[in-house]
């Protein structure tokens, strides 16, 4: 945020200074303080901070506290949270009834202990994505179903500091999972995965559902030799999603899959793994121009490498990177789709 906006108020140090001042020395924090705490939560500053300050948690707690003490939430964000409450998705204009359109023709098993959590992006914007996950799991002989009544994972509520709304969403989803007899959830969305795996157990202390990301499942199959790929020419780099990478430490699994594709030359960007730069996707909720600018910066890093394309695991990263690479020669690829395209079904069958 600081690199783009150039104000110390948008730097982690500046925000901490302001929070400290208003918490200890001054009264009546201005409304702007709350607004400035809404960043991409990409955790890049945590990775670089020599003092290891857990700023993401601090921003969350501060947002919650400021809202409780009467700080006004931005109108646009309020609208999103209201829409989640009524329609179970942050995408204003989309309705709960349309959430499962992606699954209608797939003949998924009515009951299964493994459920695909399609997430809002997968359900409404990129229905091919959960469909790809279904195809992939079927090739691996995993009979995954889905929970028709799932709602948004709650990432937006958590990010907004709306603890009450988050708790409601978590409890609603958990009750539905239990009702459906689910004990494993597979998702292809980094944001949903992070929220389910990292934050749900804080609300449900005896949370007993295993949360898996598709890359973990598939990397395991690659390691076991169950999943092999047909060849592919070209030099490609990988963009670490913030949710999957810095938040949950999943760096190796996607790389193992990519490097198992014969003929594909894999090149790391200079800023990779915990030092990876954010794609800016999440910022589109706040400021589309800022989101584009951050995305262009990440695309430029890949361009500098002279690669043919960027592979990513996250739908949101895919969306923002492909949009910002539209005027370049770079191809942006979703890892799930690449796997489905290159997986050798015959070997999977074995």
Partner 1 sequence: MKDVTETEIDKTPEPTPVEEAKPIDTSILGQLAAVVAEERVTDSELERVVYSGDPSSLPQYHYRWKGRYLSDYVVRVENVNEIEGVLKIARENKIPVIPRGGASSCMGSSSPSRGGISLDIKPMNKVLEVNKGEKYVRVEPGVTFERLDDELEKQGLTLGIYPSSAKSAVIGGWIACGGRGGIGTPYYGSLRDHTLSLTVMSGLGKTEVIEGDEIDLFLQSYGILGVILEVKLKVHDLQTEFTTLSYGFGSLEGLCNAMVDVARLDKKPVYLKIADEELQKYSNPIESGKYVLSATYIDAPNEELSQITVQHGGVYLGDGFSAKEWDLRFDAEFNPKEHTETLMFQEIWLPIEKVYDMLKAYESYKNSHQIPALWFGMLGTPEGMRLELMAMIDAEKYLKFIASKGILHKMMKRALKNGGVPYTIGLQNSIYMERAYPDRLVQMKEAKEKWDPQGILNPDRVTTCLTSFRRIDLLFVLAAAFRRLSRYVGK
User: How many other CB atoms are found less than 10 A from the CB of residue 50?
Assistant: 5
Residue owning tokens 């409404």: 124
Residue 231 Cβ vs partner 1, minimum distance, rounded to whole Å: 34
Q: How far apart are CA 173 and CA 175, in angstroms?
A: 5
Q: Is 281 helix (H, G, I), strand (E, B) or coil?
A: helix
Output the CA–CA distances (angstroms, integers) from residue 269 to 57, 62, 67, 168, 260, in the order listed. 28, 34, 39, 40, 19
Residue 241 Cβ vs partner 1, minimum distance, rounded to whole Å: 23
Helix H segments across the chain?
2-5, 12-24, 31-36, 44-48, 55-68, 75-87, 119-120, 128-139, 155-160, 163-179, 190-194, 200-203, 214-223, 252-259, 288-305, 315-324, 335-342, 345-349
Tokens of residue 227, six digits: 């999943």
The yes or no reply on residue 7 touching partner 1 (CB under 8 A) is: yes
- Cα dihedral 263→242→92→149 (10° resolution): 80
Scan residues 142-161 and list those touching partner 1 (CB under 8 A): none
Q: Which is nearer to partner 1, 33 or 182 (CB)?
A: 33
The yes or no reply on residue 9 touching partner 1 (CB under 8 A) is: yes
Segment lying near partner 1 (by CB under 8 A), choices 49-57, 210-218, 250-258, 283-291? 49-57
The yes or no reply on residue 82 touching partner 1 (CB under 8 A) is: no
Scan residues 18-47 and list those touching partner 1 (CB under 8 A): 18, 20-22, 24-26, 29-30, 32-33, 36
Residue 31 Cβ vs partner 1, minimum distance, rounded to whole Å: 10
The yes or no reply on residue 348 touching partner 1 (CB under 8 A) is: no
Q: Which is nearer to partner 1, 6 or 178 (CB)?
A: 6
Q: Which DSSP category does 130 fall into? A: H
The yes or no reply on residue 70 touching partner 1 (CB under 8 A) is: no
Residue 5 Cβ vs partner 1, minimum distance, rounded to whole Å: 10
Q: Which is nearer to partner 1, 51 or 345 (CB)?
A: 51
Q: How far apart are CA 136 and CA 141, in angstroms?
A: 9
Q: Which is nearer to partner 1, 65 or 96 (CB)?
A: 65
| Count of residues that interact with partner 1, criterion CB under 8 A | 25
Which of residues 27, 52, 206, 345 is near partner 1 by CB under 8 A?
A: 52
Q: Which is nearer to partner 1, 49 or 226 (CB)?
A: 49
| Contact residues for partner 1, defined by CB under 8 A | 6-9, 13-15, 17-18, 20-22, 24-26, 29-30, 32-33, 36, 48, 50-53
């Amino acid at each position: 945020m600081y690199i783009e906006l150039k104000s110390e108020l948008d730097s982690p140090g500046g925000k901490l200074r302001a929070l400290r001042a208003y918490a200890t020395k001054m009264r009546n924090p201005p409304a702007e303080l709350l607004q400035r705490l809404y960043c991409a939560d990409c955790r890049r500053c945590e990775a670089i901070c020599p003092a290891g300050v857990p700023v993401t948690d601090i921003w969350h707690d501060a947002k919650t506290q400021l809202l409780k003490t009467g700080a006004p939430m931005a109108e646009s964000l309020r609208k999103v949270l209201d829409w989640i409450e009524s329609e179970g998705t942050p995408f204003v204009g989309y309705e709960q009834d349309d959430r499962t359109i992606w699954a209608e023709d797939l003949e998924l098993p009515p009951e299964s202990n493994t459920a695909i959590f399609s997430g809002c992006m997968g359900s409404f914007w990129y229905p091919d994505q959960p469909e790809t996950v279904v195809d992939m799991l079927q090739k691996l002989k995993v009979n995954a179903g889905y929970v028709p009544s799932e709602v948004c994972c709650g990432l937006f509520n958590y990010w907004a500091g709306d603890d009450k709304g988050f708790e409601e969403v978590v409890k609603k989803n958990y009750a539905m999972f239990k009702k459906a007899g689910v004990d494993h959830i597979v998702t292809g969305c980094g944001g949903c995965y992070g929220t389910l795996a990292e934050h749900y157990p804080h609300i449900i202390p005896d949370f007993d559902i295993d949360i898996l990301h598709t890359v973990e499942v598939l990397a395991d199959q690659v390691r076991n030799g169950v999943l092999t790929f047909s060849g592919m020419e070209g030099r490609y780099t990988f963009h670490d999603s913030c949710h999957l990478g810095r938040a949950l430490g999943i760096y190796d699994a996607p790389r193992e899959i990519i490097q198992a594709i014969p003929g594909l030359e894999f090149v790391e960007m200079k800023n990779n793994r915990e030092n990876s730069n954010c794609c800016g996707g999440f910022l589109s909720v706040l400021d589309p121009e800022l989101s584009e600018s951050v995305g262009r910066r990440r695309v430029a890093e890949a361009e500098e490498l002279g690669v043919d394309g960027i592979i990513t695991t996250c739908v949101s990263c895919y969306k923002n990177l492909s949009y910002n690479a539209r005027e370049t020669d770079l191809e942006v690829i979703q890892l799930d789709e690449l796997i489905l395209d290159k997986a050798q079904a015959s070997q999977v069958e074995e």
